Structure 1
Amino acid sequence: MDSNITLNMHHCNAYFARNFTFNTVLISVFLCFGVIGNVLVLFLYKYRMPQTEERFFIPYLAVADLMSTIGLACLGITTNFHFTDFPNEDLCKFLPYFAWVTTSWSAFILLMISVSRFLKICRPTGRQMTSFFKKCAVHGCFLFAVINASPLLYFSGFKYSNVSCLNTNMTIVMCDRQEFDNTVNSIRDIYISIEVCIFFLNVVITGALYVPIGLQIFRRFKRKSTNELIRPKDQATSAEREREFSRTDLKGLPVDKEDDMATDETKSENIEMTEKSNDDQPPNTKTTAQKHKLYSRYDRNIKVRNNFTYMFITIIMFYVLSYFPTFILILLERDKPFYFWYSMDINVLNILMTLRRSSVINHIVNPFIYGYFDRVFRKCVVECFTRR
């Protein structure tokens, strides 16, 4: 009798594993892209690119995304192959815990990035996040994620269900939330509700911080379109604006002191051009050339800062869009996960299971976003693969 039950469970599990084939292959592809992309990002941003304030969070985010990709992919593939006979309860506890810790850490880093961009763009005269404070924030977020997810080690585990699979009644073993007495089940449900609220609150705060950032950038572009840059023929206005610009630059508003986003190549070109203009031009022309150099530097800093803001906005958009389907399906399947998936057509099953695992997209797409927005990163990638 036991052998018949085991054989039936094996057939039932094989049924789901076969139907989940498309999803398993897709997750495997995501895993390859996520590992290669995030390792490349971590290596280039840490060892080959200028260490600037704008890029401070990116290596940490790459580490979180790398671990999240591995955790989510391992959980998804293992579940697909052992949907009704999960092999090990300790593994069932550890995989959801590890995936939740790493994804939460990644989400909290995005929140810290939003706070940093808000202070830099909308509060340039106020206190900024120093490198030390950013490091404390990143490590504090990781510690909070570890503690916050710890109840999963207790609530996760084997869930036994008497079901009818392939016209046979059997008891299956799923990796899900364990069943306890009514009191513990209530505490478990409250904890899950709190986690969902934390997720949505993090999304709302992160998105809300970018609303004034977007408005500030829009106002700057609007002012730039209505007010032309300084022309040499406007001598009186030029002198006044130059003095105003110099005072602003000395105060650190809103020009970056070191032009930290310019590459060494760009800096050397600027120096050579300045030296040539100083040698070949009379004193009055030298002042004009220096003035235009300052404004050129100012415009370049603003463009680079806005470009990085657009990059982080795009990252957060993918974060929101990729996690919403996952949370919705988790809420829909939580009462009877076996029947939720077993009652579906194979095509619908694969579509919904892909949406169920869509959160991994958030952690593999960032390297492509960096490549699109960060010119220095794109150049380093090309050099990395073309260097002999």
Structure 2
Amino acid sequence: MDNTVYWNAYLVRLFIPLDILLILFMITGVAGNGLVIYIYGLKMQNVKDGQYFIPYLAVADLFASVICSLFGLLTTLMPLTYEFDILCKFGWLLSSGTTFMSVFLLVSIAIQRYMKVCRRKGTMMTLKWKRIIIIGAVFLSAVLAGPSVVTYGSIPFKSINRNVTGMICGKITGTVSIVYDIVMVVGVILCCGFLIVPYCLIALKTHRYLKKEVQSRSELQKRRKNEKSENQNTQSSISTLDNEYSIPVQSNEQRSNESVIDLDNNSLSNYSTIIKKQAMKIRKKNLRLINKITKIFMIITLIFLLCSLPKITITILETLTPNFWENTTDFERLVLMFVHQGYILNNIANPFIYTFFDETFKTEIKNIFSQRICTRKRYTL
């Protein structure tokens, strides 16, 4: 027992850098996602169609960053004395539920982006369906996270090298755990497919559109060159004809009628060209907005995959390899814990992405801070 207490104290000191990182994750997650909820959910008056899910995703990320960071801190502060079985079970339940909620919202956003970009003439997600999707995401998250109460708990941990036994919060071996892991692996593969495939199709559609636009621009330039050359040829032919033949003299009434007809034709052609230009501007503006929002969500999804795949890999190795944690050294365990807790980065990265790529969000942040500075100056004066 004395060796277990000594080793537990040693691991607590070893995990101090990870504790600091988890505390930073929690503070950043609350501040960043709280700002996103305030701006997109309360401050913005005209939220675009593609930005509807952002406040709900921020709520899920806020809870996930707090719950997962606190749960990770309990694991690092009690590395060998985790005897609170109920705390372990509910910690896994809440952390899994909030993580699944973020995943399902990202999948919903990917499908919505695909429908918006690739199926613009088809049916779109209405407000009713968006609300149904959010309720469904909450329900599915609860259903998938529920079995973790049975599959995780406080279990004995024995070090082969040190010949010391302790208690950790880990996976309970058994048939239920194996079935649950298989379901989770299948679910992860499906979610990754629903995230990767729509954005690949969106990228392909955008590439084809840009290629078509480049071709149309080149064709338009060729037409303009041909029209200029034709106008020059007609002017030269008219001048030669004027030299050879005399033009019949027209009356004043005929000239005035022809000038009125020319003015009407010119005004109609100018009006039609103005309408076409305005329509093109509106279309280009809408396409830029759609592409910008799509780009933001593509980056969010990419960060989610990069942050989550290491955790998924460790979970699979933990399931397939017997005594996975028992065979690791103290330093290897620290590194694996850093990698394992790195998935929380996904829950705190989104506000930074919005700050860099969303001009409206950036402007709202500047306005908030400028207002606070002005109020502070008034109080000081």
Per the normalisation by structure 1, the TM-score is 0.79
Gaps of 5+ in 1: 180-184, 238-281
The amino acid that maps onto 1:198 is: G
The amino acid that maps onto 2:294 is: T
Is 1:339 aligned to 2:326, yes or no? Answer: yes
Query: For the structure 1 residues 337 and 86, does the alpha-carbon distance in structure 2 shift closer, same or farther, using more than 3 Å as the test?
Result: farther
Is 1:172 aligned to 2:159, yes or no? Answer: no
Once the two structures are TM-superposed, the CA of residue 286 in structure 1 deviates from its matched residue by 4.9
Once the two structures are TM-superposed, the CA of residue 171 in structure 1 deviates from its matched residue by 3.0
Q: Residue in 1 aligned with 2:310?
A: 325
Q: Distance in 2 between matches of 1:142 and 1:72?
A: 17
Is 1:122 aligned to 2:101, yes or no? Answer: no
Q: Distance in 2 between matches of 1:206 and 1:370?
A: 19
Q: Distance in 1 between matches of 2:280 and 2:157?
A: 70
Cα deviations by residue, 1:109-154 (Å, 9 ceiling, x for unpaired)? 1111111111111111111111110110111011111012111112
Q: Residue in 2 aligned with 1:378?
A: 362
Q: Residue in 1 aligned with 2:348?
A: 364
Choose which of 158, 178, 186 in structure 2 pairs with 1:189.
178
Q: Distance in 2 between matches of 1:357 and 1:90?
A: 21
Q: Residue in 2 aligned with 1:228?
A: 217
Once the two structures are TM-superposed, the CA of residue 373 in structure 1 deviates from its matched residue by 1.8
Query: For the structure 1 residues 163 and 355, does the alpha-carbon distance in structure 2 shift closer, same or farther, using more than 3 Å as the test?
Result: closer
Quick check: 2:157–2:326 contact (8 Å CA) kept in 1? no
Q: Distance in 2 between matches of 1:355 and 1:161?
A: 21
Quick check: 1:84–1:172 contact (8 Å CA) kept in 2? yes
Q: Distance in 1 between matches of 2:212 and 2:159?
A: 66
The amino acid that maps onto 2:172 is: Q
Where 2:155 maps in the other structure, the secondary structure is strand
Once the two structures are TM-superposed, the CA of residue 333 in structure 1 deviates from its matched residue by 3.5
Once the two structures are TM-superposed, the CA of residue 33 in structure 1 deviates from its matched residue by 1.2
Cα deviations by residue, 1:298-340 (Å, 9 ceiling, x for unpaired)? 1010011011111111111111111111111223334325424
Query: For the structure 1 residues 373 and 123, does the alpha-carbon distance in structure 2 shift closer, same or farther, using more than 3 Å as the test?
Result: same
Q: Distance in 1 between matches of 2:198 and 2:192?
A: 10
Number of aligned residue pairs: give it.
Answer: 327
Where 2:74 maps in the other structure, the secondary structure is helix
Over the residues paired in the alignment, what is the CA RMSD in angstroms?
2.3
Gaps of 5+ in 2: 228-266, 375-381
Choose which of 28, 31, 35 in structure 2 pairs with 1:36.
31
Quick check: 1:311–1:373 contact (8 Å CA) kept in 2? yes
Choose which of 290, 305, 310 in structure 1 pairs with 2:290.
305
Q: Distance in 2 between matches of 1:196 and 1:71?
A: 23
Q: Residue in 2 aligned with 1:292?
A: 277
Quick check: 1:17–1:81 contact (8 Å CA) kept in 2? yes
Q: Distance in 1 between matches of 2:179 and 2:91?
A: 21
Where 1:51 maps in the other structure, the secondary structure is coil
Map 1:76-91 → 2, pairs under 5 A:
76-91=72-87
The amino acid that maps onto 2:10 is: Y
Quick check: 1:31–1:69 contact (8 Å CA) kept in 2? yes
Q: Distance in 1 between matches of 2:327 and 2:345?
A: 23
Q: Residue in 2 aligned with 1:11?
A: 6
Once the two structures are TM-superposed, the CA of residue 287 in structure 1 deviates from its matched residue by 4.5
Quick check: 1:333–1:340 contact (8 Å CA) kept in 2? no
> Which is further off, 46-55 or 132-141?
46-55
Q: Distance in 1 between matches of 2:67 and 2:106?
A: 19
Q: Residue in 1 aligned with 2:254?
A: none
Cα deviations by residue, 1:26-50 (Å, 9 ceiling, x for unpaired)? 1211211111111100110011122
Map 1:233-244 → 2, pairs under 5 A:
none
Query: For the structure 1 residues 126 and 283, does the alpha-carbon distance in structure 2 shift closer, same or farther, using more than 3 Å as the test?
Result: closer
Is 1:48 aligned to 2:37, yes or no? Answer: no
Q: Residue in 1 aligned with 2:239?
A: none
Where 2:51 maps in the other structure, the secondary structure is coil
Larger radius of gyration: 2
Query: For the structure 1 residues 338 and 214, does the alpha-carbon distance in structure 2 shift closer, same or farther, using more than 3 Å as the test?
Result: closer
The amino acid that maps onto 2:146 is: S
Cα deviations by residue, 1:225-283 (Å, 9 ceiling, x for unpaired)? 1213989x98xx9xxxxxxxxxxxxxxxxxxxxxxxxxxxxxxxxxxxxxxxxxxxx77
Once the two structures are TM-superposed, the CA of residue 221 in structure 1 deviates from its matched residue by 0.9
Quick check: 2:152–2:171 contact (8 Å CA) kept in 1? yes
The amino acid that maps onto 1:16 is: L
Structure that is richer in helix per residue = 2
The amino acid that maps onto 1:141 is: A
Q: Distance in 2 between matches of 1:340 and 1:209?
A: 41
Per the normalisation by structure 2, the TM-score is 0.80
